[in-house]
Amino acid sequence: MSIDKLAAKLAAQRFVLGDGPMGSMLYAEGLSPEVSPELLNVTQPNTILEIMRAYVDAGSEVISTNSFGGNAGRLSRSGAAERVEELNRAAAQLARQVVDGRDCLVAGSVGPTGELLEPYGLLTFDEATAMFETQVRALVAGGVDLILIETMTQLPEMEAAVKATRQVSEDLFIGASMSFNTNLHTMMGVSPLQALEALRGWGVRLIGSNCGNGPAEIETVMAQMAAHRPEGVYLLAQSNAGLPHDEDGETVFDGTPEVMAEHAVKMMRMGVNYIGACCGNTPAHIAAMRTALDAAAGVGGVER
């Protein structure tokens, strides 16, 4: 495994296109919210492979492992807290099957524990770090190219995930993003500039925002980050496809592929280096983003 593959890509081209969500795709296909999606890495691997292949076929240059909730805290809700290593290694190995022979990287997805850290909750910093280390070690063993820490709201929890990754490998490339969906702050009151400063101080090289309330919100957040970007830092944006609403008993997001394509071009022109998508997006959204970005940047040019 080369630890510098994403850095090399970003040094050679203006941006990379990430993928879309795994969770909302699975829920749209009928997965119960009470079942951890990570279990499907071993019970329904072909389902996971099909979704990842669809993203790569749509133009994704980086795909994320199906491991967002793959820590012991979240897996305990499905009675699978003891299966962290098995499920995360399988997640990485599935992604490697998809990208091998293709110009695409694998990001090991690491999400929150689902618990508040002290002093707001019962989980200690050391306990969180240990949870993340077990997960990251399994993802690395499975063959990921980088670790992508996503949808965090607490800086201490983010720090624990970064520290855990560093304990596994001092050199592993880390991307990190928070969700600023409460008046342009995280649920725990962290501002975009606070996150940027803290993450840069911890040596994270790819920093940004994901999830949230849709493209307009992330565009505002990323404008703040772009205006204060430290030297050597790449920016990341992965927006939801707008907000969900109920339509004839089904959950539907209001962000069409065309909306996300326009958003992607705005992000590229703002200087965002890693452009992806979060909840409610599909391979069709990624394909539209790919087409729009290629048209705006020039296919095959150094800007891409």
Over residues 147-203, the pLDDT tens digits come to 999 999 999 999 999 999 999 999 999 999 999 999 999 999 999 999 999 999 999
Range name among 90-104, 139-153, 243-257 with the lowest pLDDT average: 243-257
What's the gap between Cα 258 and its chain centre?
A: 21
Q: Which residues pair with 244 in a beta bridge?
A: 253
8 Å CB contact between 7 and 173: yes
- pTM recorded for the entire structure: 0.94
The mean pLDDT of 87-111, rounded to a whole number, is: 97
- What proportion of the chain, given as a percentage, has pLDDT over 90? 86
8 Å CB contact between 301 and 11: no
One DSSP character per residue, the chain reads --TTHHHHHHHHSS-EE----SHHHHHHTT--TTS-GGGHHHHSHHHHHHHHHHHHHHT-SEEE-S-TT-SHHHHGGGT-GGGHHHHHHHHHHHHHHHHTTSS-EEEEEE---SSPBTTTSSB-HHHHHHHHHHHHHHHHHHT-SEEEEEEE--HHHHHHHHHHHHHH-SS--EEEEE---BTTB-TT---HHHHHHHHHHTT-SEEEEEETT-HHHHHHHHHHHHHTPPTT-EEEEEE-SS-EEEETTEEEES--HHHHHHHHHHHHHHT-SEEEE-TT--HHHHHHHHHHHHHHH-TTSTT-
The mean pLDDT of 264-270, rounded to a whole number, is: 97
Quick one: pLDDT at residue 301? 40
8 Å CB contact between 67 and 148: no
Range name among 75-79, 163-167, 263-267, 300-304 with the lowest pLDDT average: 300-304
Average pLDDT, the chain: 94
Quick one: pLDDT at residue 235? 98
Q: What is the pLDDT of residues 101-124, one digit of tens each?
A: 999 999 999 999 999 999 999 999
Instruction: Decide which of 248 and 221 is more confident.
Output: 221
Where does 5-297 sit in CATH, by number?
Answer: 3.20.20.330
Instruction: Decide which of 37 and 30 is more confident.
Output: 37
Quick one: pLDDT at residue 299? 61
Candidates 152, 113, 107; CA nearest to 132 is 113
Quick one: pLDDT at residue 2? 45
Q: Which residues pair with 17 in a beta bridge?
A: 275
Q: What are phi and psi of 203, to 5 degrees?
A: 85, 15
Question: Residue 23 and residue 11: Cα distance in Å, rounded?
Answer: 31
Quick one: pLDDT at residue 112? 98
8 Å CB contact between 20 and 57: no
pLDDT for residue 302 is more than 60: no
